[in-house]
Chain A
Amino acid sequence: MNTPRLFTVTDRRDEITATVTLELQPLDDQPLPVARPGQFNMLYSFGAGEVPISLSGSINASDSVRSADRYTHTLRAVGKTTEALARLQVGDQLGVRGPFGRGWPMDQLAGKKVVVIAGGLGLAPLKPLLEALLADITHYGHVQLFYGGKRPEELLYPESLIHWSEKIEVQLSVDQAGPDWRGHVGVITQLLASAEMDPDNTLAVICGPEIMMRFTIQALQKQGLPDTALYLSMERNMHCAVGHCGHCQWGPHFICKDGPVFCYADIAPWFFQREL
């Protein structure tokens, strides 16, 4: 397992509750490996530990292209390591290993209608994908975003959502809302059930809590999308990120090197298996 590379925080942004976005730059002058949307890095906070965190898009909604010399990560403080990472300020140093894993199938999205479905913080790994699609929208054609969250104020990247909704169809759904909320109250599967889709020419990319992805897949199958058209990002315990530690095994798959993004057709036999 490689030693982490030394990075510093160049920008930081508080997002929703306990959630921050960090922009990171290496402190050496070596080139930065290209991170493809859907890949992840291992972030090490001194003395606290290391966690896998997906690459997210640019830190400012107005940036149309990610800077090639930075990595951006959105993370939520839910444990010792993520709490330490969330406390990092601009100028603080940390270790980074990566990028690792197979990302979203960008090549296969070209020329297709793309349905992007995110739940909760699952929007973060999809943000670089959305930015890539929007930067080259003529190449990708029709893009829809369905995004579900608990409450309106718990939806990630509100400025980006507004920005995106000027270019693509954005449908937001929350479990609960106050009377001022003009978006959908209910569940994302309901939006998917009533959405107009072209099942023969659409690819769906999905990221969110596993239970939400299960329901989403069923809703998309009802819409007639074949299993080969569904892509989702999986999560399991991970220590090494390079297929050696064994923790992220899921049936025959290693989430770290075979995923985290999988085509549903390849994992369908395992997806509904419990305690796998």
Chain B
Amino acid sequence: MRAAILAAEHLDLLIQALRDSGYLVIGPVRDELAIVYDEIRSVRDLSQGWLDEQEKGHYRLLPSGDGRYFGHTVAANAWKKFLNPPKRLLWRARQHNGQLQFMPQSEDAPQLAFLGVRSCELHAIEIQDAVFVHDQHRDEVYSQRRQSLFTVAVNCTRAAATCFCASMNTGPEVTLPSDLVLTEVLDDASHYFLVDGGSERGRNILATLPLRAATSKQQALAKKGIESARQQMQTGPRFFDSAGIKELLYRNLESPAWDEVADRCLSCANCTLACPTCFCSAVEDTTDLTGEHAERWQQWDSCFNGEFSYIHGGSVRQTTRSRYRQWMTHKLASWIDQFGHSGCVGCGRCISWCPVGIDITEQLQAIQQADKP
């Protein structure tokens, strides 16, 4: 199917079509002072007319002054919480008169539609798929949610200062499969979306919408928007050549750059929670006061937590230096050995949400500098 045009005033029809198909639609909404991904019931819930200003340890919302729905970049939180819930009950157990019984916790996976997934975020979801779906063992909760997931991707036409997908080769243009792909264009008075159907079910949804064929000018304008986002990144300070990072980090496990960053890092775990690919979790076994009922809960964990690496006698990673090194080296280097691709998609969340403004791209450059003979 050729690219089509959906008028901006018809965006709600897309949302309703998804809802009518049984999807719980999630998209960018304004929650107080940030844009977050949350449930969308109609187009009015979207964070229309707001821009994000992101920098090291800095996030502000500003009115965009125009009517764009997706003029902002990635939301504060990643989509991962909808596919891999931050806290979930795995099973319950009961022991009575010496008889033990396990009761698995099953769920009817919600049928989710993500509206406004950016290219870097599609990559992030694919990266988590590699961990939870395609590896030796499957995570059933994630897999079921993932299987029914409908994605409406949006091409970025603007980059935040923290964005560096152009360096990680994960954007700004959507290249991974998505049920639908939108590019928002605001050209003088005309406001519309260039729409592509990437799957059968995507095209089925499109068939219910009032579309018209895109002119070559409209397609060119959409392309231009994406190119301007790419330009913003390529001329910004966070543009770098990501080739050879694995080797760079592997040979610099003792770089003085780790000491410098460890002096600033609070080991607060914000970066791992904000990161769309960080997947670590912990389990907690609990009992009630009667001592007859027990539960196992799984919740997100972070390699910055002291007990994360605990073995008999103490934690293996005692220092912040070793924890930051673990996080960054895993993200950018050992992930490649583990799963065949980097664990970083360049979304910049770890930069914005670090309370002391640690910037992974700066750290990389610091290691590169120290690496030079």
Q: Report if A and B touch in the complex (beta carbons < 8 A).
A: yes
Given A237-B309, A251-B334, A246 contacting B93 (CB threshold 8 A): no
Please determine whether B281 and A245 come into contact, CB atoms closer than 8 angstroms. yes
CB-CB < 8 A to A236: which residues of B? 309, 311, 316
In the bound complex, CA of A104 to CA of B168 (Å): 39
Contacts of B137 in A (CB 8 A): 242-244, 257
Q: Assess whether A47 is in contact with B95, with CB atoms less than 8 Å apart.
A: yes
Are A245 and B90 closer than 8 Å at their CB atoms?
no
Closest to B103 in A: A3
| Pairwise interchain contact B131-A6, C-beta atoms closer than 8 A | no
Find A242's partner among B136, B294, B311 (CB 8 Å cutoff): B136
Contact B334 A249 (CB under 8 A): yes
Asked if B100 and A95 sit within 8 Å, CB to CB, the answer is yes
Q: Mark A4-26, 1 if CB is under 8 A from B, else 0.
A: 11100000000000000000000
Q: Is B312 a contact partner of A245 (Cβ separation < 8 A)?
A: no
- A247:B90 contact, CB within 8 angstroms: no
Q: Which of B281, B287, B317 has the most CB of A within 10 A?
A: B281
- Report A-chain residues with C-beta under 8 Å of the C-beta of B115: none
Given the known interface contacts A1-B298, A47-B287, A244-B131, the answer about A252 and B279 at a Cβ–Cβ threshold of 8 Å is no
Give bound CA distance, A3 to B298, whole Å: 12
Q: Does A49 lie at the interface of the complex (its beta carbon under 8 Å from any beta carbon of B)?
A: yes
Instruction: Check A93/B99 contact, CB under 8 A, given A47-B285, A47-B294, A269-B250.
Output: yes
Chain A, residues 36-48, CB within 8 Å of chain B (1/0): the string is 0000000010111
Report if A200 contacts B (CB, 8 A).
no
Q: Is B322 part of the binding interface, using a Cβ–Cβ cutoff of 8 Å?
A: yes
How many residues in B have their beta carbons less than 8 Å from beta carbons of A? 50
Contacts A48-B285, A95-B93; A79 near B312 (Cβ below 8 A): yes
The answer on a CB contact under 8 Å between A46 and B294 is yes
Cβ-closest chain B residue relative to A242:
B137
Does B129 touch A at the CB level, under 8 Å?
Answer: no
- With a cutoff of 8 Å between Cβ atoms, the chain B residues found around residue A44 in the complex are 285
**Complexed CA–CA distance, A5 and B301 (Å):** 25
Q: Is A92 an interface residue (CB 8 A)?
A: yes
Q: Is A243 a contact of B136 with CB atoms below 8 Å?
A: yes
Q: Which residue of B lies closest to A78 (CB)?
A: B312
A250-264 contact mask (Cβ, 8 Å, vs B): 1 or 0: 011010010000000
**B100-124 near A? 1/0 per residue, CB < 8 Å:** 1111100000000000000000000
Within residues 273 to 289 of chain B, which ones have a CB less than 8 A from any CB in chain A?
279-283, 285, 287
- Is B330 interfacial (CB 8 A cutoff)? yes
Chain B 300-333 against A: per-residue CB contact (8 Å), 1 yes, 0 no? 0101000011111000111101100110001001
> Which of A235, A254, A275 interacts with B338 by CB under 8 Å?
A254
Contacts A243-B135, A243-B136, A247-B301 given; indicate if A46 touches B316 (C-beta within 8 A).
no
Query: At the interface, yes or no: A142 with Cβ under 8 Å from chain B?
Result: no
Contact indicator per residue, chain B 324-354, by CB within 8 Å of chain A (1) or not (0): 0110001001100110000000000000000
Question: Among A1, A92, A254, A257, which residue has its beta carbon within 8 angstroms of that of B90?
Answer: A1
Q: Which residue of A lies closest to B337 (CB)?
A: A252
Q: Which residues of chain B are near A269, meaning CB under 8 Å?
A: 250
Contacts of B279 in A (CB 8 A): 244, 246
A50, CB-defined interface residue at 8 Å: yes
B91 touches A3 (CB 8 A): yes
Measured CB to CB, the closest approach of chain B to A39, in angstroms, equals 13
Measured between beta carbons, the chain B residues less than 8 angstroms from A249 are: 303, 326, 330, 334
Q: Is the CB of A94 within 8 A of B310?
A: no
Q: Is A192 an interface residue (CB 8 A)?
A: no
- Contacts A3-B90, A243-B137, A254-B338 hold; do A237 and B311 have CB atoms under 8 A apart? yes
**Cβ distance B144 to chain A, nearest Cβ, rounded Å:** 14
Interface presence of B260 (CB below 8 A)? no
A257 near B136 (CB under 8 angstroms)? yes
Q: With A and B bound together, what is the CA distance between A79 and B317 in angstroms?
A: 20
Report Cα–Cα, A92/B81, bound state, in Å: 39
A240 CA to B98 CA, complexed, in Å: 26
Q: What's the minimum C-beta distance from B244 to chain A, rounded to whole angstroms? A: 16
Query: Beyond A1-B139, A44-B285: 11 further Cβ-contacts under 8 Å?
Result: A46-B93, A47-B95, A47-B294, A48-B285, A92-B98, A93-B99, A237-B310, A244-B279, A246-B279, A252-B333, A275-B325
Give me the interface of B with A, judged by CB distance under 8 Å. Answer: 90-91, 93, 95, 98-104, 131-132, 135-137, 139, 250, 253, 279-283, 285, 287, 291, 294, 296, 298, 301, 303, 308-312, 316-319, 321-322, 325-326, 330, 333-334, 337-338
User: Could you give 27 example pairs across A and B, Cβ below 8 Å?
Assistant: A1-B283, A6-B100, A6-B101, A6-B102, A47-B95, A47-B285, A92-B98, A93-B99, A95-B102, A236-B309, A236-B316, A239-B282, A240-B283, A242-B137, A243-B137, A245-B281, A245-B282, A245-B301, A246-B279, A246-B303, A252-B333, A252-B337, A257-B137, A273-B253, A274-B322, A275-B319, A276-B316
Taking Cβ atoms with an 8 Å cutoff, the residues of A that contact B are 1, 3-6, 44, 46-50, 78-79, 91-95, 235-237, 239-240, 242-247, 249, 251-252, 254, 257, 269, 273-276
